[in-house]
């Protein structure tokens, strides 16, 4: 108890809050473990838990189970976890930037911009040299997401309405998706099937090289986002108050945009555009934590995004097996209702 | 002129020389020479659109001066880093905020950020100062309430606590009495008086309510048509000739004894 003279009968609110934050992180950790285990065990080949532990410990190296776990499910699991976290963070950063709870990389067209440039790069490069490294994909996606982001920013300078901003973003998304579809239609290549799958959004076919690349991008970017939690806390009261408590607002805004574009680009490069994770996860996580304090919301969103994408990927793989549903279909199914809930909540606040 | 003469013995927390302020290239308000010394309340009055808010925004570092110089505690404002400026000066704005899941205490705590480390974690000492500021303004009882659930007047007081716990030397308040009913307006003035008396900080603010401005100010600055038309003690400024000219009032509308503006009978 800090304030011994405290007259309040109820427990110290600070302690209550701390307990709630700790409980939320414990819950997220358990959920992550459960989701990861289910993702490794379930699928066309069911792996019992005992076998899973054996295989993870490095035994039975010749078995099919070992192959399935180590070369298919584990890289996919790690990719889905990291990219899910990246998406949630990207959304959180954009929501901070625009002070709008339904801003996110997908709805603002940032993911679609990345998709367009990646598709163009795939077709051009595969058509000419045929060598396409995962780094080239990330770079192409970053170029695309930044272009779309810049466009949305220009629009947001001209219109002050938060809902019009979202509409503009959705339109950018449609334009980019339409152009991507044209590209895919006109490209006559053996890779067309892959391209189509990827442009729908999927974690399938991710290998260890991809995992290495995306780890190198996502982990430092996430750490950087955590380092921004102090200016983010100041920015919660708006640009002017942030400036008044010593935030270099211009540099901070550039940082937010660059980081969220990079995170969204990385996701799109490896898994295609994935919808609604960036909006739904930060919203749910804040409600669980009972606070919007960035220092706890940033890591919790990353964990929450990982869990959300693992769960959605599990559904995408197993619901209609052996066919895979696109991951974006599943995330939209669970994420879009959250957006509606946010809108209803805001309406109630206004009334 | 006594307050001003006394003040000049001390280092002014704010001093401007030929300051020109505005958006874009052409100044909205030019040739501003004013100073705020420790323990002094300086109030800007004048019609809407005269440039009061723009001047306050420039002093707060939001806008670059279009000419002239401003000094905070003797150091050039434009040479200060964002953090250095935040330790010198804090603000209370009129804009409406929209927060998400922030308690009043959370809102006030953002005022301590310039005093914290890289991750913005508050020390027990910071928490004590937050509490002291909230108690001073009378909002400690709301500390666990969601900021959005407060009335406009309560929010304004929470934001004042935020500005106070930042522990600046200069407090810049843009229309601090907006949204406040008369009881809280008077209470607010009491808090401001207490602040300048006990902590020796300086206050620069804009006010619409002339009776309040008259009661609380040590020094009044009249802003009109891109100029400082007059500055002086409340006794010098709150006379019918000055006020009538400042607001383009018909003679006799401003009552110097009560400090209130009377509406002509036929408009009532």
Return the pLDDT at B6. 47
Interchain contact A286–B (C-beta under 8 A): yes
Contact check, Cβ <8 Å, B93/A241: yes
pLDDT band of A90, cuts 50, 70, 90: very high
Distance, in angstroms, between A290 CA and closest chain B CA? Answer: 7
* Interface contact A223, partner B, CB < 8 A: no
Closest approach of chain A CAs to the CA of B97, in angstroms? 6
- The pLDDT value recorded for residue A260 is 95
Q: Is A230 on the interface with B (CB under 8 A)?
A: yes
Q: What pTM did the predictor assign?
A: 0.90
pLDDT of residue A129: 65
Q: State the pLDDT at residue B10.
A: 67
Domain containing A47 equals 2-350
Q: Which residue of A has its CA nearest to B145?
A: A13
Higher pLDDT, B7 or A311: A311
Q: What is the pLDDT of residue B66?
A: 93
Q: Any chain B CB within 8 A of the CB of A295? A: yes
- Token pair 């367009």 in the structure block, residue: A116
Highest mean pLDDT among A20-24, A64-68, A185-189: A20-24
pLDDT recorded at residue A127: 66
Confidence at residue A324, expressed as pLDDT on a 0 to 100 scale: 83
Nearest CA in chain B to A295: B119
Say if the Cβ atoms of B101 and A236 lie within 8 Å: no
Cα distance between residue A316 and residue A331, in whole Å: 9
Q: Which of the residue ranges A155-159, A309-313, B28-32 would you say has the lowest mean pLDDT?
A: A155-159
Query: Is the confidence at residue A9, as pLDDT, over 70?
Result: no
Within 8 A of B62 by CB-CB distance, chain A residues are: 240, 243
The shortest CB-CB distance from A245 to any of B102, B114, B148 is to: B114
- Out of A9-13, A20-24, A110-114, A261-265, pick the least confident: A9-13
Q: Chain B: nearest CA to A241, how far in angstroms?
A: 7
pLDDT tens string for chain B (268 positions)?
455 444 444 689 999 999 999 988 889 999 999 999 999 999 999 998 888 999 999 999 999 999 999 999 999 999 999 999 999 999 999 888 888 899 999 999 999 999 999 999 999 999 999 999 999 999 999 999 999 999 888 899 999 999 999 999 999 999 998 878 888 888 888 889 998 999 889 999 999 888 889 999 999 999 998 889 999 999 999 988 888 889 888 877 777 666 666 655 544 4
Q: Tell me, what's the pLDDT at A23?
A: 96
Q: What is the mean pLDDT of residues A312-334?
A: 88
- Which of A229, A237, A293 faces B97 most closely, judged by CB atoms? A237
Q: What is the CATH number of the domain that holds A149?
A: 1.10.3470.10
pLDDT digits (tens, 9 = 90+) for A258-296: 999 999 999 999 998 898 999 999 999 999 999 999 999
Phi, psi angles (nearest 5°) of residue B127: -60, -40
CB contact under 8 A, B114 and A236: no
B52 within 8 A of B223, measured Cβ to Cβ: yes
SS (H, E, C) A97-142: HHCCCCCCCCCCCHHHHHHHHHHHHHHHHHHHCCCCCHHHHHHHHH
CB contact under 8 A, A241 and B82: no
Check: complex ipTM more than 0.85: yes
How far does the CA of residue B116 sit from the closest CA of chain A (Å)? 9
Question: What is the C-alpha to C-alpha distance for residues B247 and A270, in angstroms, rounded to an integer?
Answer: 65
Instruction: Indicate the residue of B86, B105, B119 with minimum beta-carbon distance to A244.
Output: B86
CA of A225: which chain B residue's CA is closest? B119
Q: Strand B227-232 vs strand B219-224: parallel, antiparallel, or unpaired?
A: antiparallel
Residue A248: list chain B partners with CB under 8 A.
82
- Domain count within chain A: 1
């Amino acid at each position: 108890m800090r304030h011994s003279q405290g007259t309040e009968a109820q427990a110290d609110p600070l302690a209550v809050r701390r307990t709630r934050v700790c409980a939320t992180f414990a819950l997220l950790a358990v959920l992550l473990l459960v989701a990861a285990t289910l993702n490794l065990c379930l699928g066309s080949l069911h792996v019992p838990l005992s076998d899973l532990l054996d295989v993870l410990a490095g035994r039975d190296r010749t078995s099919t189970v070992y192959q399935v776990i180590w070369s298919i499910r584990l890289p996919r699991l790690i990719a889905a976890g990291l990219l899910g976290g990246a998406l949630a963070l990207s959304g959180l950063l954009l929501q901070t930037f625009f002070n709008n709870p339904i801003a996110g990389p997908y709805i603002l067209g940032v993911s679609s911009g990345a998709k367009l440039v990646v598709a163009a790069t795939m077709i051009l490069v595969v058509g000419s040299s045929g060598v396409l490294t995962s780094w080239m994909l990330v770079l192409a996606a970053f170029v695309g997401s930044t272009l779309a982001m810049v466009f949305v920013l220009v629009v947001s300078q001209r219109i002050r309405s938060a809902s019009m901003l979202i509409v503009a973003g959705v339109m950018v998304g449609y334009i980019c998706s339409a152009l991507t579809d044209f590209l895919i239609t006109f490209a006559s290549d053996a890779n067309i099937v892959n391209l189509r799958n990827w442009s729908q959004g999927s974690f399938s076919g991710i290998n260890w090289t991809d995992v290495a690349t995306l780890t190198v991008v996502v982990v430092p970017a996430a750490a950087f986002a955590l380092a921004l939690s102090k200016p983010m806390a100041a920015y919660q009261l708006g640009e002017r108050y942030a400036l008044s408590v010593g935030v270099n607002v211009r540099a901070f805004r550039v940082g937010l945009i660059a980081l969220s574009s990079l995170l969204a680009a990385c996701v799109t490069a490896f898994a295609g555009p994935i919808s609604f994770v960036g909006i739904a996860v930060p919203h749910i996580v804040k409600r669980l934590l009972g606070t919007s304090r960035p220092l706890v919301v940033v890591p919790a969103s990353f964990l929450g995004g990982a869990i959300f994408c693992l769960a959605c990927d599990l559904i995408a793989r197993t619901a209609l097996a052996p066919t895979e549903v696109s991951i974006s279909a599943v995330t939209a199914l669970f994420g879009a209702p959250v957006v509606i809930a946010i809108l209803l909540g805001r309406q109630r606040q206004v009334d | 002129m006594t307050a001003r003469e006394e003040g000049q013995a001390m280092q002014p927390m704010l001093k401007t020389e030929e300051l020109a302020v505005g958006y874009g290239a052409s100044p909205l308000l030019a040739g501003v020479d004013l100073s705020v010394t420790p323990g002094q309340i300086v109030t800007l009055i004048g019609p809407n659109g005269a440039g009061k808010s723009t001047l306050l925004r420039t002093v707060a570092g939001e806008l670059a001066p279009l000419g002239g110089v401003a000094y905070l505690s003797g150091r050039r404002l434009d040479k200060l880093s964002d953090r250095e400026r935040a330790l010198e000066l804090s603000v209370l704005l009129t804009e409406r905020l929209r927060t998400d899941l922030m308690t009043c205490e959370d809102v006030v705590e953002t005022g301590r950020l310039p005093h914290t480390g890289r991750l913005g974690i508050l020390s027990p000492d910071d928490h004590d100062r937050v509490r002291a500021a909230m108690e001073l303004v009378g909002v400690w009882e709301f500390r666990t309430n969601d900021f959005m659930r407060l009335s406009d007047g309560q929010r304004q007081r929470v934001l004042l606590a935020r500005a106070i716990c930042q522990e600046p030397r200069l407090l810049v308040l843009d229309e601090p009495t907006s949204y406040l009913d008369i009881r809280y307006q008077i209470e607010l003035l009491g808090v401001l008086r207490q602040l300048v008396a006990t902590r020796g900080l300086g206050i620069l603010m804009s006010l619409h309510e002339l009776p309040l401005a008259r009661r609380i100010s040590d020094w009044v600055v009249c802003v009109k048509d891109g100029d400082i038309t007059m500055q002086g003690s409340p006794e010098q400024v709150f006379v019918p000739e000055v006020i009538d000219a400042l607001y383009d009032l018909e003679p006799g509308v401003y009552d110097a004894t009560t400090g209130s503006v009377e509406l002509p009978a036929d408009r009532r």
